[in-house]
Amino acid sequence: MEATTQTATPQKTKNLTLSVQKASRLLAAFSIARPELSLAELAHETGLSVSTAHRLLATLEAERFVERVPGSAGYRLAIKVFELGSIVLHRMELNVVGTPILARLATETEETTYLSVLSSDTVLCLARIEGVRHSRSQFLAAGRHLPLHAGAASKVLLARLPQERVRQLLSHHTLEAFTDRTITDPDEFMMMLPEVSEQGYALSEEEITKGLVAIAAPIWDQTGQVISAISLSGAEDRFGPETRPLLVDQVKDAAYQISSRLGFVPTLTL
């Protein structure tokens, strides 16, 4: 017997969108001034009916976004919201700690520097500091994304992940060729990752933009996890055999400075 495939109708999609919007309004009703709210208060604050608010709260409670206040009929935000908020705070701390070091590296090398993180199944640029020798073709700006299979930062961010996880992430996309040096074979890409992990940095030689080379190194947190990448990018003729070893050392040193300020201690966490 053939399996049937159910396709979401426009009406179902609309209903789902409305439910998400209503649930978001319930979460947004809480504040520092009013950390606990009753069902009636939540319905009043959001303009929802009591029955709709109760149904959505039951789902949010099951997913650990809200919880009942012991000894009362009230609700409050739960651990899942704290976990998500911690991620945001972590990135804010990374930006605060990392940006001055990013700027120093840009000044010392005169090249453009970046701070990037793994965001879902792409690489997100958190910060960019232009060096005096920046190129117009260096298009990656803060808030923009890069694919996982191209660029030095991508290799650094994936190098310490389990191989199964890397394959899963890569499978979400067609590995597009940006230049003739872009690696579009998942197996070939993954074969490079152990070397990146061992040497502590990654190179990208014209993989995204012709004429541009990038060097990236991992940033570690206090638990010994790679949480970000710092990278340096510039024209190919300035990243040749004579200058590259020094640039690699400068990028790795900048990454270590940021990691240390985030509580990373190699002898304790590795």
Q: Pick the closest to residue 104 from 268, 269, 257, 270 (CA basis).
A: 257
Mean pLDDT by 10 residues, the chain (270 residues): 50 72 93 91 94 94 92 89 68 79 93 87 84 64 77 92 88 85 90 93 90 93 88 90 93 93 71
pLDDT of 90: 64
Q: Tens digit of pLDDT for each residue in 216-249?
A: 999 998 888 898 999 999 888 898 888 999 999 9
* In CATH, 84-269 is 1.10.10.10: no
CATH fold of the domain at 10-77: Arc Repressor Mutant, subunit A (1.10.10)
Q: What is the pLDDT of residue 140?
A: 64
Q: Domain residues of the chain, as ranges?
A: 10-77, 84-269
Evaluate the CA torsion angle 132, 138, 143, 149 in order and state its sign.
Answer: negative
Q: Give me the pLDDT at residue 22, please.
A: 92
pLDDT at 146: 80
Q: Determine the pLDDT at residue 7.
A: 52
The token duo for 230 is 């710092």
Residue 213 has a CB neighbour count (10 Å cut-off) of: 23
Tens-digit pLDDT profile for residues 102-121: 999 999 999 999 999 887 77
Residue 123, pLDDT score: 85
